[in-house]
Amino acid sequence: MASLFSWLLGRAPQGPPVFPDDEVLPVHPFDNMTTLRDYTLIWTFRYDEVLDADMLGDSLSQLFQMEGWRKLGGRLRLRPDGKTEIHVPREFTKERPSLHFTKEHHDMTMAEHPEASKLPTSTAEPTTFPAARNFAGLALGPGAPRTIQDYFQKDVPQFSLHVVTFTDGTLVSINFNHVTSDLGGLKTIFKAWQSILAGKPEEVAPFAGYKDDPMAGLYNDETTVRPMLADTQLTGWRIPVWALRQLVETWWKGLDARIICIPKKVIDVIVQEAKDHVALKGDADLFVSENDVIMAVCNKMVAKGLAGQRHIANLLAIDLRPRVKSVFRDDTAYVQNISSSAISLCQAGEALAVPIGELALRSRTALAEQCTEEQLKATTKYAYRLMMDAGNPLVLGNDVDSILMVITNWSKAGFLDKFDFSPAIIKPSDKKRPGAKPGHPVYFHSQSLGTGLISMNMVAIMGRDLEGNLWLLGEFSGQTWASVLEYFRSYMQIYPGCQLIRMSSDIGQITTALHAYGAALKSGNVDEAVNLYTSDGVILPPHFTASAGTKALHEAYTRIFSTIELDPEFHIDEIVVMSPEWAFARTTASGTKTMKATRESEPHSNQELFIMKKEEGEWKIARYAFSTMKPLIQNGVRRS
């Protein structure tokens, strides 16, 4: 997206002379997008063991010399028409290797090293750290490419590996340009790499896409289905206008990339709170994931800095490999950009008004509809036609005033538990980390080395560490970061122990009490209604003075039930436990109200607020207020 202006302003300069004996291979259409070229990525993995750097380098180099896989040892070159291609040496040599490999050793612990000692570590409360770009000195060896021009103008392989060893651990960093691959491709490389390390090259999956594009199975599909996100595509003059707005706004606010660690006890409560809200709807098929909840939280925080009518366009990167089984095989390696997009629109005002669980559910519903195989094929075909016919990138948003937030999920790669580099261990770890497995990373981070012309709000869900803490990479304004930290830290203040089981139990008890109140209204049972209040409970009905205390409540409900019959359908919209003793709930009730004297009935619709208090171990109603939702003017008559 940052190189959108590259697309608008023209081509980059051509590269060096071509080696005449090189095999020239295509860069497939979705890899040839200029929007990818601004992103030269670093991925750094921390190991508690000391690993054999040469063994790591030799094994990855061997992988990139295997049939099909040798494409990854080729060099990126810029053609006269502005497109990219790959030049692969007929034979890899010391002068022209398949991998740019460098290493260094420090005879000290990581804690003693001036840069490694600052690497992010888990904390007892939500804390932010500098992003991966700030640790590039540990990730890149001499001669490693930093920009797409380094790839175009130098004879350098597509992948660089830099291994830094200490007396108590190892940092393994791999870097490449986004033109070469997405996260799914990197995951595929790690899977094959560990097979080479284990001495099992026969287990390496066959490589697809050496010449023919596997994505053609999607963009050449005969589907006539219209992709849902087509309605949000910006076209024509709207693209540069939107881009200019993004440029000015992000420059003015100044986006800051940080990594945040959210302790397990905090994120568990937030996620469970959202799931409990969804459960209140009474539909067993409704579901929200942890990632849905994180996206909802980020929307709420970004919305605080926006006018209420503006839209946040959440753009999610979708890996097609596991989702389009008719095209992609599980036993085949696909190392390229095999991803699509799904969009979820959220108006800033609504994001601030509705609970996290509701926001998460809305995005879950929208994304589920867009992520069927049929829709993903249609979306890919649509994006391909835009590139081929108009040269336009896929730029999504509700309008030119919308603000983009990119969300990507790294947790599914499983870097901390799926990839075993234990054959390269030369010194085991003496650290005692619960759940740690030898030869598996205990931490990782990634980021693009460059910032690009246009920045955007972004969140990458890095996943949970061995202790269950959640890690995120975010790029937000300073104001949004302050809101993010305030939000997560508020759970430390409200729930000093963040006791998940207790809170979930409290919500269940409050739910039971509220439904019991609804049943009491329906049956007209005064004692049942009053017994649900605290001893000093108060009802605040419209047009009447408040009734406070058990005696006054009994009189009020006797008067109400003697004059009307209620047949309400009760819905719980929100329950928030604020402390061990206090909570509030929002509900709605709709149905009929019948006057006992005349037997005349009319529609009945209220919105209600309950303040709940735990009294003698039981949640009861401390304060109850309601108002009608019937129109102010009915049949030309204004209600009082």
The mean per-residue pLDDT over the stretch 40-59 comes to 98
Domain ranges in the chain? 1-213, 216-414+456-498, 500-638
Say if residues 3 and 179 touch (Cβ distance below 8 Å). no
pLDDT at 354: 87
Q: How far apart are the first and last CA of the chain?
A: 55
The whole-angstrom separation of Cα 74 and Cα 182 is 17
pLDDT at 504: 60
pLDDT tens digits, one per residue of 595-615:
988 988 888 888 999 999 999
Residue 19 in this model has a pLDDT that exceeds 70? yes
pLDDT at 495: 56
CATH of domain 216-414+456-498: 3.30.559.10
Top pLDDT among 9 and 580 is at 580
From 244, 251, 267, 523, select the one nearest 400 (Cα to Cα). Answer: 244
3-state secondary structure of 459: strand
Q: How far is CA 557 from CA 417, 534, 551, 570, 580, in A?
A: 60, 15, 10, 18, 29
| Amino acid at residue number 487 | Y
- CATH class belonging to 500-638: alpha beta
pLDDT tens digits, one per residue of 216-227:
999 998 888 998
Most confident range, picked from 2-6, 107-111, 267-271: 107-111
pLDDT tens digits, one per residue of 188-201:
999 999 999 999 99
CB atoms within 10 A of CB 389: 8
Residue 13 in this model has a pLDDT that exceeds 60? no
Among 3.40.50.10680, 1.10.10.10, 3.30.559.10, 3.40.50.1220, name the CATH number for the domain at 1-213: 3.30.559.10
Residue 634 in this model has a pLDDT that exceeds 60? no
pLDDT tens digits, one per residue of 236-265:
767 767 677 777 777 667 789 999 999 998
Write down the residue that tokens 């997009």 correspond to.
341
Q: What is the DSSP track for 469-515?
A: -EEEEEEEEHHHHHHHHHHHHHHHHH-TT--HHHHHHHHHHHHHHHH
pTM over 0.95: no
Q: What is the DSSP track for 257-283?
A: EEEEEE-HHHHHHHHHHHHHHHHTT--
Tell me whether domains 1-213 and 216-414+456-498 share a fold.
Answer: yes
Top pLDDT among 389 and 278 is at 278
Tokens of 539: 């009802």
